[in-house]
Amino acid sequence: MMTMRTRGNRRGFGQVVALLALVNVMAIIAAVPLTSAEPSKPLRIVAFGDSLTAGYGLRPKHAFPAQLQRVLKKRGHNVVVINAGVSGDTTAGGLERLAWAVPDGTDAVILELGANDALRGVDPKVTRANLEKIIAGLKKQGMPILLAGMRSPANWGDTYAEDFDAIFPDLAREHGLVFYPFFLDGVILNPKLNLDDGMHPTSKGVAEIVKRILPATEELIERASSQRASASKS
């Protein structure tokens, strides 16, 4: 039979054990940063372009921004890719809507404009000037840019094509942008990867674009992440 003294000793010992356990738990909680349970804020990438970005003839989930976001997330990137594509848009139209199409809080921009300029035969000097202003506006806000190149159709002649095609590598070099030489690389003129109009990619065509532009996009993400880290330290 247990005596009162023995029961008292065991009760006291149990209280000491419980107290030590509580102290250990409190120490663990104190050692964990308060933000550890909070997910990091995703990088916001705006895909700013024309129908090739908007996803002409496709469901929203098959458009370039949506497919790119899914692939990037599968590769472990915490990103949101926003669709700021407008079908039929030219570089002039993009310049006009720049202020509201790329909102505050954007971390990086994929700039895909110029195809409709080429289709309409817009003077390459005008296209270059519009893109210069768009790039300057984005850089003023401190946003890293991935410039997607475009090529002129052959019907305007060699001189036009040479002047137009040179716009994109020239601007990328002059402004230190991430550069993807041709947005439709691997897709253009392939009937299996384009809609019946022969100009706009199917969902599979968009998937091919995403696969090819992925390395440049990850370089853009690296720049945006580094910039965010630097800003948080200042």
Domain boundaries, the chain: 1-38, 43-233
According to CATH, the topology of domain 43-233 is Rossmann fold (3.40.50)
The CA-based dihedral angle spanning residues 155, 208, 143, 49, taken in that order and rounded to the nearest 10 degrees: 40
Set 104, 196, 197, 234: catalytic member = 197
Say yes or no to pLDDT of 38 above 50.
no
- Per-residue pLDDT, averaged over 121-135, amounts to 98
Set 89, 107, 117, 200: catalytic member = 200
Is-catalytic flag, 62?
Answer: no
Set 50, 51, 89, 165: catalytic member = 51
Is 161 in contact with 152 (CB distance < 8 Å)?
yes
Q: What is the pTM of this model?
A: 0.83
pLDDT of residue 232: 82
Q: What is the pLDDT of residues 59-100, one digit of tens each?
A: 999 999 999 999 999 999 999 999 999 999 999 999 999 999
Per-residue confidence band for 230, with pLDDT thresholds at 50, 70 and 90: confident
- Per-residue pLDDT, averaged over 163-174, amounts to 98
- Per-residue pLDDT, averaged over 207-218, amounts to 98
pLDDT of residue 35: 34
Is-catalytic flag, 234?
Answer: no
Is-catalytic flag, 107?
Answer: no
pLDDT of residue 204: 98
Is 73 in contact with 79 (CB distance < 8 Å)?
yes
Residue 119's alpha-carbon distances to 51, 127, 150, 181, 195, in angstroms, are 13, 12, 11, 18, 17
Say yes or no to pLDDT of 14 above 90.
no
The CA-based dihedral angle spanning residues 82, 130, 180, 152, taken in that order and rounded to the nearest 10 degrees: 120
Q: Which residues pair with 178 in a beta bridge?
A: 146
pLDDT of residue 22: 36
Q: What is the CA radius of gyration of the chain?
A: 27
Per-residue confidence band for 39, with pLDDT thresholds at 50, 70 and 90: low
Report the alpha-carbon distance of residue 187 to residue 34 in Å, rounded: 48
Say yes or no to pLDDT of 28 above 70.
no
